[in-house]
Structure 1
Amino acid sequence: MSSAENPVSRDDFDRYMVPNYAPVDFIPVRGQGSRVIDQSGRELIDFAGGIAVNSLGHAHPLLVQALTEQAGKLWHVSNVFTNEPALRLAKKLVEATFAERVFFANSGAEANEAAFKLARRFAAERFGADKYEIIAASESFHGRTLFTVNVGGQPKYSDGFGPKIAGIRHVPFNDIAALKEAISAKTCAVVLEPVQGEGGVLPAQRDYLQAARELCDQHQALLVFDEVQSGMGRCGELFAYMHYGVTPDILTSAKSLGAGFPIGAMLTKAEIAGHLKVGTHGTTYGGNPLACAVALKTLDIINTPEVLSGIKAKHQQFKARLQQMAEQYRIFSEIRGMGLLIGAQLTADWKGRARDLVKAAAEDGLMLLQAGPDVLRFTPSLIIPDADIDEGLARLEKTLSRQD
């Protein structure tokens, strides 16, 4: 039965779906590059990028080719067996980073779940059962599983699901003194996002991450960087830790890694990885050939001087225009972020209106995000054409000009 014979509408979401999302009124049906077509045939410019996922836009021909070629060979064999795309991808990630070992999952939450479990097991086996505390940052976000949502520092996401997981502490982001006071011999890991995404697009200060590294070394704790949103070129380097010059013990990646195809990865050193022995952790779909074939091609495209330098240039293009709008419309108090992970902080007069602006921008043909109630978030394709940036920002300006 074709889609024409079985039409669906936005109303069907409210009729059939669990109401944990509140999608906008239109339904995208096709995309090409940084342009998206909805059911009515209307064209929109995509500054949302599937929440920092569509790193190479929509329907990139080389990704379509990689997916379809692998689909004709092998889809799934489980981790009872290994497969060639997973091995090739793991090898390239190791060659491109600090890591020596890789674990593949299906999402950022799963990658973080693996990282947190590994950190606790490593500490328990090396130092004893009392070394299990995890320190994370307030307003952080690490996923929606019960473990990861508790490590995340936003009670609005973790409240209401029964007793909290014990041994998790939260400290203010970018506060060295608070981190120093919280860390102890019981700490097994400090978990940080180099750039807080959901928390408002807040980059870490270099001295803060350096202090975190030093404190972890002093207390024999692991430093875990959640680069689910900041990694894979999003911040202008392959991973944001490279920008800061601070190397973690464990790094997690997802979102842009598969450019839209679900995949997550945990990267670490061999000595640490050895504590996840056979049977201690696993996944049915993680590392499947389809996901790894797409991610391998994505990595090949992004990890080039041309693309990474282009991301930095596009950041400046966004920032200059957004600052002009800030001055003209008195709507943004700060433009911040790195690469193509950009946040525009709303002024006090616009407090709480980020979602309203996202909906209004959609009416003007622009797909946009928020990062909390007071920040507009821009996470477009890493190779978005300059002309699409200009046109998208012109549509945003139209949105701003008609607000009261």
Structure 2
Amino acid sequence: MNDICDFKCPDISLENILSRKYIEAVKIAYQFLMESSIEKLRKMVGKKLDFIPDFEQVDKMTFVESYQKPIKDDILAGYKLFKVTENKELQIDWTGGHYQLPLGYHYPIFDDLIIKARKLGIVDDTHNNTPGMPVKLLARELIKCANAYDDIGIDNIIKSEDRLNRVTSVDTGTVAASTGIKSILYRFRDLYKDKIPVFIMQEGNYHGTDFFEQRLRGMWEWLFANVIIEFVKPNDIDSLLSAFLKYENTPNEKVCTVMMEPVLMNNRAIYLQPDYVQKAKELCDQYDAVLFLDEIQTSMWSPKVFMSNEYGGVADVLAIGKGLTAGYSPLAYTICKSELDNQSQYSSISTNGNADMAALAGLIVLAIVKANSEHIEQVGNYYFSELENFQKSYPDKITEITGLRHLAGINLADESLASKFHHACLENGIFVRLQAYKEGASTIITKPPIIANFEDVDFVIDKFRKSIDSI
């Protein structure tokens, strides 16, 4: 056989791809993070680590313009709560990456198990019709977690018509939300034929980035017909009731669903109160509508894994994602009741939806979350309480603390003050996000990893105080 036909294995290395100087910088930064004591790291937060060697940084001019931000805070290395930027500055990441790292960076037991699994030979991915053991186990584990509000066994859950007991594996939260919406619309079309579906949405919602999900938050209105979007004020039961009554006797329209995020991280981190969510469930049952809880943000940050359990298991459909694999690989799920298991095989699918290694990552994260339920609740409550005390010390600058536990918003008096506070936090080594893409935004969004402890909270709150004092 002619050698020219053989598949070639090129002479490549990480140094060839990433550069030797970059590899050396990552190595030294990561070793420093792993080998230094917590006390030493805290003392150096906000400082530049000049012992890390220089390397040639790459700009972002090939990114779309909206992502061409300065590279100052771009990451070089990370370990648990800490990260080193490409500018060699040490920070505490108080946002869980982009809200998807419940275990922070390179959590040791997670990394160890993933490495062992790869060496064992567990595959990265396969065809959707031929899932491996991790995918099948994760589906069962998610069903158990989605029904953790009482003690019914898995066999009874699977047989029930009123339990979350069917899963669709996809790759992103956007697809998970879209999958749930499709099931709701299939049901609506089957039951109500030519009526126009009404979606009751929370003001300031965010359920993903495809066309219809963006329509649900007020975009692309010119593109869609035969759908009505009714916005209600979060936690306003009268507003919610009025939306249902508006279409109670209309001949051509009917409410098909209420969609909710337990914490609206894109709307000042507003927490939906239990009485409001339970009233939504009551109205959905009364008017034969579906209650859809979008837990892309909140899952894995709840002591009960899903906040639906904290509401008493009210959801007819759940969407989960982000934190499920601790950043290892995109993976999301739609979990629904059997009544909503109504889509054909390829109606909602992702190429890597049945990835074994990603599913294994999900199983590891779920095991860690369940083992730390008490820690998540206690530290989360302590953090939120300390934020409230922080606000009371600066009532002229901070108007309100919103959210629940780790998922918290610090609402400043105005946009200018919020921008200055955000900048001061970064200067002091605390990486938080400013909700600045909306006009007049003045909320600092925080979502620390669930591995944070009481001492971490005290340290960050002290940094917040120093930051607010400096402006």
- Calculate the TM-score normalised by the size of structure 2: 0.77
Greater shift, 52-61 or 316-325, is seen at 316-325
Q: 1:131 to 1:389 in 2, by over 3 A?
A: same
Check whether the contact 1:85–1:293 (CA below 8 A) recurs between aligned residues.
yes
Q: In structure 1, how many angstroms separate the alpha carbons of the residues matched to 2:128 and 2:363? A: 18
Query: What's the CA shift for 1:313?
Result: 1.9
Q: Which residue pairs with 1:139 in the alignment?
A: 204
Distance of aligned partners of 1:170 and 1:88 in 2 relative to their CA distance in 1, 3 Å threshold: same
The one-letter code of the counterpart of 2:390 is M
Where does residue 220 of structure 1 map in the other structure?
288
Letter in 1 for 2:110: L
CA distance in 2, matches of 1:353, 1:164: 39
Kindly indicate whether the alpha-carbon contact (under 8 Å) linking 1:241 and 1:247 is maintained by their aligned counterparts in 2: yes
Tell me the distance in 1 between the aligned counterparts of 2:82 and 2:294. 29
Q: Which of 90, 100, 108 is 1:43 aligned to?
A: 90
Alpha-carbon displacement from aligned partner over 1:27-64 (angstroms, at most 9, x marks no partner): 21111111111224322111111232110111012221
Structure 1, residues 165-223: CA drift from partner, whole Å, max 9, x if none? 65132222222222223234622211111221111111112221122111111221111
Larger Rg: 2
1:43–1:208 distance in 2 versus 1, CA, 3 Å = same
Partners of 2:320 and 2:126 lie apart in 1 by 23
Query: Could you tell me which residue of structure 2 aligns to residue 243 of structure 1?
Result: 310
SS at match of 1:132: strand
Partner of 1:278: 345
Q: Report the equivalent of 1:76.
A: 125
From the superposition, tell whether residues 8 and 118 of structure 1 become closer, same or farther in structure 2 (CA, over 3 Å). farther
Which SS does the other structure have where 2:223 is aligned?
Answer: coil
* Partner of residue 332, structure 1: 398
Q: 1:355 to 1:263 in 2, by over 3 A?
A: farther
More divergent stretch after superposition (207-216 vs 17-26)? 17-26
What amino acid does structure 2 have at the position aligned with 1:357? Answer: F
Given candidates 8, 17, 31, the residue that maps to 2:63 is: 17
CA distance in structure 2 between the aligned counterparts of 1:20 and 1:110, rounded to whole angstroms: 23
Equivalent residue, structure 1, for 2:134: 85
Cα pair 1:135 1:171 within 8 Å, conserved:
yes
Contact 1:28 1:38 in 2 (8 A): yes
2:255 aligned with 1:194: no
- The count of corresponding residues between Structure 1 and Structure 2 is 390
Indicate the residue corresponding to 2:25 in structure 1: none
For residues 366-385 of structure 1, the aligned pairs below 5 Å read 366-371=430-435, 373-385=441-453
Task: Report % sequence identity.
Answer: 24
Pick aligned residue for 1:94 from 135, 139, 143: 143
Specify whether residues 131 and 100 from structure 1 end up closer, same or farther in structure 2 by C-alpha distance, changes over 3 A only. Answer: farther
Match of 1:302 in 2: 369
Equivalent residue, structure 1, for 2:75: 28
Shift of 1:8: 4.9
Distance 1:249 1:128 in 2: 21
User: 1 or 2 for the larger relative contact order (CA 8 Å, sep ≥6)?
Assistant: 1
Q: By how many angstroms is 1:268 displaced? A: 0.8
Worse-superposed segment, 166-175 or 108-117: 166-175
Counterpart-to-counterpart distance in 2, 1:236 and 1:188: 31
Matched, 1:65 2:112: yes
Residues 104-113 or 239-248, more deviating: 239-248
Give the alignment partner of residue 176 of structure 1, picking from 207, 227, 237.
237
Q: Encode CA deviations 1:351-397: one digit per residue, 9 max, x unaligned.
A: 45434432331121111123452211210110113322222222222
Asked if structure 2 preserves the Cα contact closer than 8 Å seen for 1:198 and 1:371, the reply is yes
8 Å contact from structure 1 (residues 236, 340) kept in 2: no
Question: Residue type matched to 2:326 in 1?
Answer: A
Q: For 1:359 and 1:370, how far apart are their aligned partners in 2?
A: 9
Measure how far apart 1:318 and its partner are.
2.1
Within the alignment, does 1:231 sit opposite 2:303 as a pair?
Answer: no
Distance 1:87 1:104, change over 3 A: same
Q: Which residue of structure 1 aligns with residue 223 of structure 2?
A: 163
Name the TM-score, length of structure 1 as normaliser: 0.89
Aligned pair partner of 1:344 in 392, 405, 410? 410
Alignment of 1:308-323 (within 5 A): 308-323=373-388
Q: 1:390 aligns with which of 458, 462, 467?
A: 458
Structure 2 equivalent of residue 123 of structure 1: 188
Contact (CA 8 Å) 2:257, 2:292: kept in 1 or not? Answer: yes
Deviation at 1:320, TM superposition (A): 3.8
Q: Contact 1:70–1:289 at 8 Å: present in 2 too?
A: no
For residues 175 and 322 of structure 1, the distance between their equivalents in structure 2, rounded to whole angstroms, comes to 24
After superposition, the C-alpha distances for 1:7-40 in whole angstroms (9 at most, x for unaligned) are 5536x11x22112236452221111111111224
Counterparts in 2 of 1:327 and 1:133: CA distance versus 1, 3 Å: closer
- Contact kept, 8 Å, 1:55 with 1:382, in 2: the verdict is yes
Structure 1 stretch displaced more, 174-183 or 56-65: 174-183
**Aligned-partner Cα distance in 2 for 1:138–1:164:** 19
Aligned residues: CA RMSD: 2.2
**Residues 182 and 102 (structure 1 numbering): CA distance in 2 closer, same or farther, change over 3 Å?**
same
CA displacement, residues 317-345 of structure 1 (integer Å, 9 cap, x when unaligned): 32343334323333222223212111122
Amino acid across the alignment from 2:19: S
1:123 partner amino acid: F
Report the Cα distance in structure 2 between the residues aligned to 1:198 and 1:374, rounded to whole angstroms. Answer: 12
SS in 2 for 1:303: helix
- Once the two structures are superposed, residues 266-315 of structure 1 have per-residue CA deviations (whole angstroms, 9 ceiling, x without a partner) of 11112211x112232222111311211111100011023xx222122223
The Cα offsets for residues 121-156 of structure 1, whole Å up to 9 and x where unpaired, read as 1221233242533221111111111111112x3x4x
